[in-house]
């Protein structure tokens, strides 16, 4: 039996309640999809066991990303891969997230072998005036000082505090100590991993009145005291309506504020922010709604982004598919 040809593939968001979550994602996703209960994360594209995204339109509607990757990875990514390399989320931080560290690929083999490394970046969509991003160690603070601060309860004072504004992009390489502060909504692009080692959770209790587990041994083992390129990233113009936000070994992330059509290369993931637009290709046209991810398979080679008026869209280009073999 022949398989339907691939086309620009839209995916349905998965909403994940979190103890620090809020109610602001309704402004970034179609409101009818967001419940009134606090939501911390919307997973827009995922091949992680906690949630595997489903195609939400076209002939392949209802097919999972996992199924597509298992049978058509070369068409999707241009190479064989046993896991989709990136996970894309919207985060609504009503409260501070825990102070935490993610391992890199090498450290994950020892501390989170089923997960893998986790380098990530944040595009700030909303920032309250008092919002803070805790990212990186202050000068003179090393791993030994972090271990001592854990005992004294002074860990937050060890971290650099950034004052983010909407439109800022922060790079969080694996091994960075960090916490997203309350009052922020961000678009997060990360490696496909949920390896998170918490050091401090601000005294927060779960619904049963118990603190969440901490992982000091693992966090200190994978901590990098001075990761390269950590922090706020300079923006680089790519054209009259396009900017490069970040480029690292795992992906490139670009922001387009479109009023006219733009041709982009495949493979890539397109995430709608403000406004709507169309991904146009002879294999099929796909409407992109706010808060929706559309995967442009490698086999399509290129597609045209056509705005409906003004359209803000983020383009994410995978660089190294996870566990890829040619």
Q: Which of 109, 198, 204, 235 is catalytic?
A: 198
- DSSP SS3 for 156: helix
198 tagged catalytic: yes
C-beta of residue 83 within 8 angstroms of C-beta of residue 323: yes
Helices within 175-244 (DSSP H only): 216-222
| Omega before residue 267 within 30° of 0, cis | yes
Residue 283: C-alpha distances to residues 9, 44, 270, 298 (Å): 11, 23, 17, 13
Task: Decide: residue 55, CB within 10 A, 0-12 exposed, 13-18 middle, 19+ buried.
Answer: buried
- DSSP SS3 for 43: strand
C-beta of residue 246 within 8 angstroms of C-beta of residue 171: yes
The continuous run of DSSP H or E covering 130 comes out as none
Q: Residue 243's closest CA among 120, 123, 90?
A: 123
Residues marked active site are found at: 198
């Amino acid at each position: 039996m022949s398989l339907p040809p691939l086309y620009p593939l839209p995916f349905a968001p998965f909403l994940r309640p979190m103890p620090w979550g809020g109610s602001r994602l309704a402004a970034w996703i179609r409101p009818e999809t967001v419940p009134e209960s606090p939501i911390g994360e919307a997973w827009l594209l995922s091949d992680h066991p906690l949630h595997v995204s489903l195609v939400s339109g076209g002939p392949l509607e209802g097919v999972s990303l996992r199924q597509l990757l298992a049978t058509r990875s070369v068409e999707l990514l241009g190479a064989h891969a046993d896991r989709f390399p990136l996970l894309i989320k919207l985060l609504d931080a009503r409260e501070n997230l825990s102070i935490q560290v993610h391992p890199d690929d090498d450290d994950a083999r020892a501390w989170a072998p089923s997960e893998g490394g986790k380098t990530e970046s944040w595009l700030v969509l909303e920032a309250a005036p008092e919002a803070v991003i805790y990212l990186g160690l202050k000068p003179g603070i090393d791993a030994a000082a972090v271990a001592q601060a854990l005992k004294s309860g002074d860990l937050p004072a060890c971290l650099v505090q950034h004052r983010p504004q909407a439109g800022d992009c922060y790079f969080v390489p694996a091994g960075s100590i960090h916490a997203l502060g309350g009052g922020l909504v961000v678009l997060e692009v990360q490696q496909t991993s949920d390896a998170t080692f918490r050091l401090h959770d601000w005294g927060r209790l779960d619904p049963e009145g118990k603190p969440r587990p901490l992982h000091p041994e693992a966090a200190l083992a994978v901590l990098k005291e001075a990761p390269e390129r950590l922090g706020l990233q300079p923006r680089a113009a790519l054209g009259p309506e396009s900017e490069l936000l970040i480029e690292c070994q795992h992906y490139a992330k670009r922001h387009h504020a479109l009023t006219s059509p733009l041709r982009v290369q495949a493979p890539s993931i397109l995430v709608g922010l403000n406004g709507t637009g169309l991904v146009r290709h002879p294999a099929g046209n796909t409407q992109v709604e706010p808060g929706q991810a559309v995967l442009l398979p490698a086999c399509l080679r290129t597609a045209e982004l056509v705005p409906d008026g003004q359209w803000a869209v983020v383009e994410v280009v995978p660089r190294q598919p996870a566990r890829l073999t040619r």
